[in-house]
Amino acid sequence: MAKVLILIFLALSIRANCTQLIEYCRKPPALFVFGDSFFDPGNNNYIKTTTLDQANFWPYGETYFKYPTGRFSDGRLISDFIAEHAKLPLIPPYLQPRDYDKVYCGANFASAGAGVLPETFQGAAVYKRGGRKFGFLNLGDLGCLPGLRISKPQNGSGCLEEASILAKLHNEALQNVLNKMKNHLKGFKYSLYDFNTFLRQILNHPSRYGFKEGEKACCGSGRYNGIFSCGGKRGVKEFELCKNPNEFIFWDSYHLTESVYKKMARQMWYGPSKGPYNLTQFFQCL
């Protein structure tokens, strides 16, 4: 049976025939992605929603694709780089019209805004369908997002403490839930990337990671470019756009640049995990 990683970001047992992978592994893997705007490759292009949950307009996508794909970044996302590490093609949006044979390599179901309602993802359902290898990342330091920093008083500095505390409490609960699932669900394996620690590290020491700007977003308006106006289609037409997104940690008020996502994916693939596995181990040939 083929190996499938489910990223929540996932490994269902299916028979696959990804010709690009035959030399890599006799039983080629597949990658299925669930998540929100951090992982949405353009699914929201195909549903009726507001521009708050869409990124199919300039300048989104300007760095790598040179056109807006629907990704909430200047280029590729974490899941795109994970696919690259796994020697998979880019995993397409599930709603994108295409040859459905390509689903054998995986599919991306992520949708911006999907995390708002608890009904939008029920992990137990994926396990019941055969999912066994799951990749997770915890919440970043929410209070440091430019879109939340501007909630502090005009003369205030630093991150919004209340939001940072909420992220910390969520991450503690997530770790406990995953440990319980590992003990109670036969064959359940997981990797948990510590996004919170990584984000705090690069925000505290941006130059150490190759960045020049750690507080202000590349695209947006207002203090820190924290007003979610990138592209001018979300109620505020005026916005500022930096010349070199690769020097910035934040692309817009709530999302990261391709450069940051690339570093995250590399750490998720090779680095230590707060769970028993990293992603490399999930894709090793049997």
Nearest one of 215, 219, 211, 214 to 68, comparing CA atoms: 219
For residues 105 and 31, is the Cβ–Cβ distance under 8 A? yes
Residue 117 belongs to some domain of the structure: yes
Average pLDDT over residues 231-255: 98
- Computed over every residue of the chain, the mean pLDDT equals 87
Dist CA 18 CA 28 (whole Å): 7
Burial label, 87 (beta-carbon count in 10 A; 0-12, 13-18, 19+): middle
Residue 252 belongs to some domain of the structure: no
Dist CA 259 CA 246 (whole Å): 6
104 against 195, higher pLDDT: 195
pLDDT digits (tens, 9 = 90+) for 183-209: 999 999 999 999 999 999 999 999 999
Q: Which two tokens stand for residue 164?
A: 């940072």
Residue 217 belongs to some domain of the structure: no
Average pLDDT over residues 115-124: 56
Q: Indicate the number of domains in the chain.
A: 1
Residue 211 belongs to some domain of the structure: no
CB-based contacts of 258, cutoff 8 Å, min separation 6: 63, 64, 73, 74, 75, 76, 77, 245, 246, 251
CA angle 126–36–95, rounded 5-degree value: 75
pTM to 2 decimals? 0.89
Give the model's confidence band at 97: pLDDT under 50 very low, under 70 low, under 90 confident, else very high.
confident
- The whole-number pLDDT of residue 121 equals 52
Q: Which residues pair with 4 in a beta bridge?
A: 30
DSSP 190-203: EEEE-HHHHHHHHH
Q: H or E stretch including 148?
A: helix 146-149
DSSP 26-84: SS--EEEE--STTT-SSGGGGS---GGG---STTTTTTTTSS--S-SSSS--HHHHHHH
- Ranking 20-24, 25-29, 66-70, 205-209 by mean pLDDT, the lowest is 20-24
Task: Name the CA dihedral angle for 115, 116, 119, 123, rounded to a multiple of 10 degrees.
Answer: 20
Residue 92 belongs to some domain of the structure: yes
Give the model's confidence band at 11: pLDDT under 50 very low, under 70 low, under 90 confident, else very high.
very low
- The whole-number pLDDT of residue 153 equals 80
Residue 137 belongs to some domain of the structure: yes
Average pLDDT over residues 209-216: 97
Q: Which two tokens stand for residue 101?
A: 């044979």
Dist CA 39 CA 151 (whole Å): 26
- The whole-number pLDDT of residue 2 equals 42
Give the model's confidence band at 254: pLDDT under 50 very low, under 70 low, under 90 confident, else very high.
very high
Residue 57 belongs to some domain of the structure: yes
| Residues annotated as part of the active site | 37, 252, 255
Question: Which residue range(s) make up the domain with 68?
Answer: 4-144+161-196+263-278
